[in-house]
Amino acid sequence: LSGVPGFPLPSTHTQQAYDPASDFTSRWTRADALQIKAHSDTTVAAGQNSIPAQLTMPSIPADFPQINPDVWVWDTWTLIDKHATQFSYNGWEVIFCLTADPNAGYTFDDRHVHARIGYFYRRAGIPASQRPVNGGWTYGGHLFADGASAKVFAGTTYTQQAEWSGSTRLLHTNGNRVSVFYTDLAFNRDANANNITPPVAVITQTIGLIHADFNHVWFTGFTRHTPLLQPDGVYYQTGQQNEFYSFRDPFTFEDPQHPGVNYMVFEGNTGGPRGVANCTEADLGYQPNDPHAETLQQVLDSGAYYQKANIGLAIAENSSLSKWKFLPPLISGNCVNDQTERPQMYVHNGKYYIFTISHRTTFAAGVDGPDGVYGFVGKGIRSDFQPMNYGSGLVMGNPTDLNTAAGTDYDPDPQQNPRAFQSYSHYIMPGGLVESFIDTVEGRRGGTLSPTVKLHISAAASAVDLTYGNGGLGGYGDISANRRVVDFLAF
């Protein structure tokens, strides 16, 4: 092990696989996350990029096109099977996006309590160079009828109700039944957007049918919405324990090592009440006698224990995927970061990668990293996961100056790189292609799809492919299927 002068070494992670049902939770430690700072350039001029080039998303031009002027989109996902293969349906590519109405009188930053899952489609098999610059997607509208997802909260008190991220699974690759797994949200807030009672997040399933003819794509069904999971307070923190808890973003898959068994990863927080100073030496993860190690007391005194992200695991208890049981979390980031969002399981060259998105502003005191996508690699779905790239976890961040205050997307620091919030909600697709949405570029707000970029992924390392597209940037919203379903009996 060799480290960066002045910084601690990363923790040792063997990548060893454990039984998915066992209670081994791997840790993204402070020693790991500090490798991001260790590899950040302290000599760049304020507002430049301090992140290594191969881990930086290329700069999105400020004159980006809009997918549709009448709909904001952010978190986006594809039509996948149990192995995350991406399907077109009867000649059409389909994407699912969180959407909100730009003409309804609220701002892009207030979109979350208005989020509805919408869908778009375009003809499959056309290269990006032959499509309109915005990707050429047609908006199909909301996926669920008005009021359908609210039925989960019937009889409870709420002021707003929303549909948050998830995934859409083609149940049989020779048919048209799809299962949507998403996060059903009910808020109970006062006029200042403070919680009267904590938000209620329910991981929910609904089943429908996809249809396509020669002109368009549409869906039927999605009338019954089945609540699947709410946090247990032991593995996964509840709203009662912390009104700012995270419990969302289900992604289901079958493990090639356990054929026929279905799992779900999701975003959670470590169980227990907010503010209890219970990080441990293991969460710090320093090598014995590392001269650059922090003491546990120093870390606790910094307040870092408010940040306790985890990546959860559940196992399906029936074949219709309507009954699930919690298993212990796969990864925790106690005293490291508070949000590991939209986790996905990505199997590549026999290795298991967990990719997840996170923010600079959710890092704990003393650790830092850009907004972007983070990755962990192991030999099975439950492993002693090794954080990718120098043991840090960072896979691809926005151009960011870690030497300068973060600011926010809604209130940028004028000294910060004007692309530090250019994109978010990255999702890794087959072949290492990555889609995301545009948040803010040079102060211009997005609410539209980013240019697709490409990663080379090899063992515990990755690099942005700068030969892909134009200097690394592919087409805007170029989200293509890599398999086709042809099911002309279904319409």
Distance of CA 98 to the CA centre of its chain: 13
User: What are the residues whose beta carbons fall under 8 Å from the beta carbon of 449, sequence distance 6 or more?
Assistant: 67, 73, 76, 134, 135, 137, 435, 436, 437, 438, 476, 477, 479
Check binding of 326 to ligand FRU (CB under 6 A): no
Q: Which is nearer to ligand FRU, 74 or 96 (CB)?
A: 74
Check binding of 436 to ligand FRU (CB under 6 A): no
Check binding of 200 to ligand FRU (CB under 6 A): no
Q: Are 430 and 403 in contact (CB under 8 A)?
A: no
Check binding of 386 to ligand FRU (CB under 6 A): no
Instruction: Give the three-state DSSP class for 30.
Output: helix
Q: Which of 262, 110, 118, 137 is nearest to 182 (CA)?
A: 118
DSSP run (H or E) holding 32: helix 30-38
C-beta of 7: minimal distance to ligand FRU in Å? 30
Q: Which is nearer to ligand FRU, 121 or 424 (CB)?
A: 424
Cα–Cα distance measured from residue 295 to residue 271, given in angstroms and rounded to the nearest whole number: 24
Cα–Cα distance measured from residue 236 to residue 251, given in angstroms and rounded to the nearest whole number: 16
C-beta of 314: minimal distance to ligand FRU in Å? 17
Cα–Cα distance measured from residue 64 to residue 2, given in angstroms and rounded to the nearest whole number: 42
Q: Are 305 and 41 in contact (CB under 8 A)?
A: no
Q: Which is nearer to ligand FRU, 279 or 438 (CB)?
A: 438
**How does 291-304 read in b/e, with b if 16+ C-beta sit within 10 Å?**
ebbbebeebeeeeb
Residue 232 catalytic?
no
C-beta of 411: minimal distance to ligand FRU in Å? 18
Among 75, 255, 283, 294, binds ligand FRU (CB under 6 A): 75
Q: Which of 29, 118, 37 is nearest to 74 (CA)?
A: 118
Among 266, 424, 427, 476, binds ligand FRU (CB under 6 A): 424
Check binding of 99 to ligand FRU (CB under 6 A): no
Check binding of 98 to ligand FRU (CB under 6 A): yes
Show contacts with ligand FRU in window 111-130 (CB under 6 A).
112, 115
Burial of 395 (0-12, 13-18, 19+ CB in 10 A): buried
Q: How far apart are the two ends of the chain, measured CA to CA in Å?
A: 59
C-beta of 2: minimal distance to ligand FRU in Å? 36
With vertex at residue 85, the alpha carbon angle to CA 83 and CA 87, rounded to the nearest 5 degrees, is 140
Among 27, 225, 248, 379, binds ligand FRU (CB under 6 A): 248
Check binding of 165 to ligand FRU (CB under 6 A): yes
Among 164, 352, 376, 427, binds ligand FRU (CB under 6 A): 164
Q: Where do the DSSP E strands lie in 255-382?
A: 262-269, 308-316, 324-334, 341-348, 351-358, 372-378
Q: Which is nearer to ligand FRU, 39 or 342 (CB)?
A: 342
Q: Which is nearer to ligand FRU, 18 or 74 (CB)?
A: 74
Q: Are 168 and 251 in contact (CB under 8 A)?
A: no
Structure token pair of residue 126: 């056309």
Determine which one of 32, 75, 163, 184 is catalytic: 75
Residue 254 catalytic?
no
Among 15, 49, 179, 183, binds ligand FRU (CB under 6 A): 183
Show contacts with ligand FRU in window 258-297 (CB under 6 A).
267
C-beta of 191: minimal distance to ligand FRU in Å? 21
Q: Which is nearer to ligand FRU, 35 or 440 (CB)?
A: 440
Cα–Cα distance measured from residue 415 to residue 105, given in angstroms and rounded to the nearest whole number: 30
Q: Which is nearer to ligand FRU, 25 or 165 (CB)?
A: 165
Determine which one of 93, 163, 283, 341 is catalytic: 341
C-beta of 66: minimal distance to ligand FRU in Å? 19
Check binding of 184 to ligand FRU (CB under 6 A): no
Pairing of strands 262-269, 92-100: unpaired
C-beta of 357: minimal distance to ligand FRU in Å? 6
Check binding of 454 to ligand FRU (CB under 6 A): no
Q: Are 60 and 441 in contact (CB under 8 A)?
A: yes
C-beta of 268: minimal distance to ligand FRU in Å? 11
DSSP run (H or E) holding 33: helix 30-38
Q: Which is nearer to ligand FRU, 225 or 248 (CB)?
A: 248
Check binding of 423 to ligand FRU (CB under 6 A): no
Check binding of 342 to ligand FRU (CB under 6 A): yes
- The sign one gets for the Cα dihedral 404, 333, 317, 22 is positive
Among 341, 384, 401, 409, binds ligand FRU (CB under 6 A): 341
Check binding of 96 to ligand FRU (CB under 6 A): no
Give the binding site for ligand FRU (CB under 6 A). Answer: 74-75, 98, 112, 115, 164-165, 183, 248-249, 267, 341-342, 424-425
Return the active site residues.
Answer: 75, 341
